[in-house]
């Protein structure tokens, strides 16, 4: 179900223009991210889709139909909506929070709760959390519940207003991964608002960069916006390191994965190892580095290790490989397979040589 903005303007009675003549099309089954500084109209644009804000002029079309032809409460019940801090009802259990929309749609209580329990599993939460209240959950768990509640509308359209901005960076990355996983399965039409260009290029099939005053500055794929900003504003907003971000769209073909010396946790050692070694657990997952100068007399334990930096999943974009190499204390970027098992390592020099050969 596609969404179209046709010359949409929102001007408030005091003369403030929040959105100025916005025209763009959000394609069916894709993620479009509105990104820009505070006051650029990205949230206002999002809220005009479900009529939480009414345009002053122009039209917003949902599946070819002007949203103003729909009764607002009915329209909103058919559109998933996720906000910052999840916006959960504190006096209701997690299960009842998720079941809210099905109940409003006339479902029986048992059927609505069964659907809610399914959705908790869908967003990666154990079913037993359904008995808890929002205050008993972590921030990341609350956001997952918010996503589950939005999915309960069973609508092809999902609106997400800075949903992950209130959690720490590690949790945020996990939530982004979860959203991409869900999208690969569900194929929703998603409009996502953020002020973070890294989040925008990671999640979006298309990115709409907006400037203060509600003007659309550029609309295109993340690669287009990073490589070919249309003006100084977009170039400044996406950052001076946009070339590095652009590596997110460069294939890693030609980067040779080399063997890496490993040592098993629990293995009995005597003295210093003399070189960097990657410690792995019984499943072959990396746990950290054993530094050359570290002396171990007995079984190798976690406390003997140095943190290992990021990991690169084989077959993904070259940016991840370069980041793994640069963040590693050994200078060796750890490469893992789809199950997280170590398959080898790469160096920054290898990656740069490949990039130079393509230039």
Nearest to 146 by CA among 177, 179, 169, 191: 179
Pairing type for strands 333-336 and 286-290 reads unpaired
Report the pLDDT averaged over residues 322-349: 91
* Per-residue burial over 167-196, b = 16 or more CB atoms within 10 Å of its CB, e = otherwise: beeebbebbbebbeebbeeeebbbbbbbbe
- The top-level CATH class assigned to 3-239 is alpha beta
Cα–Cα dist 180/332, whole Å: 28
Dihedral sign, Cα of residue 151, residue 156, residue 159, residue 164: positive
pLDDT for res 240? 65
pLDDT for res 359? 60
Tokens read off for 338: 């789809």
What are the tens digits of pLDDT across the range 125-183? Answer: 898 899 999 999 998 899 899 888 888 878 899 999 998 887 888 788 888 888 998 89
24 Cβ contact list (under 8 Å, min separation 6):
4, 5, 32, 208, 216, 219
Nearest to 154 by CA among 121, 184, 186: 186
Pairing type for strands 286-290 and 277-280 reads antiparallel
Report the pLDDT averaged over residues 322-342: 90
Cα–Cα dist 354/42, whole Å: 38
Name the residue ranges covered by the structural domains of the chain.
Answer: 3-239, 262-358
Domain 3-239 and domain 262-358 have a common topology: no
Pairing type for strands 189-194 and 31-35 reads parallel
Decide which of 3.50.50.60, 3.40.50.300, 3.30.565.10, 3.10.580.10 is the CATH code for 262-358.
3.10.580.10
Confidence of residue 317 (pLDDT cuts 50, 70, 90): confident
Cα–Cα dist 316/342, whole Å: 15
A 10 A CB-CB count for 244 gives: 14
Q: With a cut of 80, say whether residue 247 has pLDDT above it.
A: no
Report the pLDDT averaged over residues 240-246: 69
Asked if residue 204 lies in contact with residue 34, where contact means CB atoms within 8 angstroms, the answer is no
């Amino acid at each position: 179900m596609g969404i179209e903005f046709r010359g949409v303007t929102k001007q408030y009675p005091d003369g403030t223009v929040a959105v100025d003549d916005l025209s763009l099309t959000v394609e069916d089954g894709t993620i479009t991210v509105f990104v820009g500084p505070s006051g650029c109209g990205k949230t206002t644009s999002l809220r005009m889709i479900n009529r939480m804000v009414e345009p002053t002029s122009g039209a917003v079309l949902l599946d070819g139909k002007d949203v103003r032809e729909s009764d607002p409460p009915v329209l909103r019940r058919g559109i998933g909506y996720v906000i910052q801090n999840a916006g959960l009802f504190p006096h209701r259990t997690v299960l009842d929070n998720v079941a809210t929309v099905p109940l409003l749609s006339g479902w029986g209580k048992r059927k609505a709760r069964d659907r809610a329990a399914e959705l908790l599993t869908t967003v990666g939460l154990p079913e037993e959390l359904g008995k808890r209240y929002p205050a008993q959950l972590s921030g990341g768990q609350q956001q997952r519940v918010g996503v589950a509640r939005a999915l309960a509308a069973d609508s092809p359209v999902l609106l997400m207003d800075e949903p992950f901005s209130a959690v720490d960076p590690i949790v945020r990355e996990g939530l982004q991964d979860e959203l991409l996983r869900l999208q690969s399965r569900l194929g929703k039409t998603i409009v996502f608002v953020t002020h973070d260009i890294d989040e925008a290029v990671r999640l979006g099939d298309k990115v709409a960069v907006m400037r203060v005053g509600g003007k659309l500055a550029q609309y295109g794929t993340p690669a287009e916006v990073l490589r070919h900003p249309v003006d100084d504003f977009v170039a400044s907003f996406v950052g001076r390191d946009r070339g590095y971000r652009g590596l997110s769209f460069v294939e890693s073909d030609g980067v040779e994965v080399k063997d890496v010396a490993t040592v098993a946790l629990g293995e009995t050692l005597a003295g210093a190892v003399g070189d960097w070694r990657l410690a792995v657990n019984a499943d072959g997952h990396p746990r950290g580095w054993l530094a050359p100068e570290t002396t171990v007399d007995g079984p190798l334990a976690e406390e003997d290790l140095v943190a290992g930096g990021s990991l690169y999943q084989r077959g993904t974009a070259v940016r991840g490989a370069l980041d793994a190499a640069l963040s590693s204390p050994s200078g060796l970027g750890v490469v893992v397979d789809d199950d997280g098992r170590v398959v080898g390592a790469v160096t920054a020099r290898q990656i740069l040589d490949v990039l130079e050969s393509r230039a």
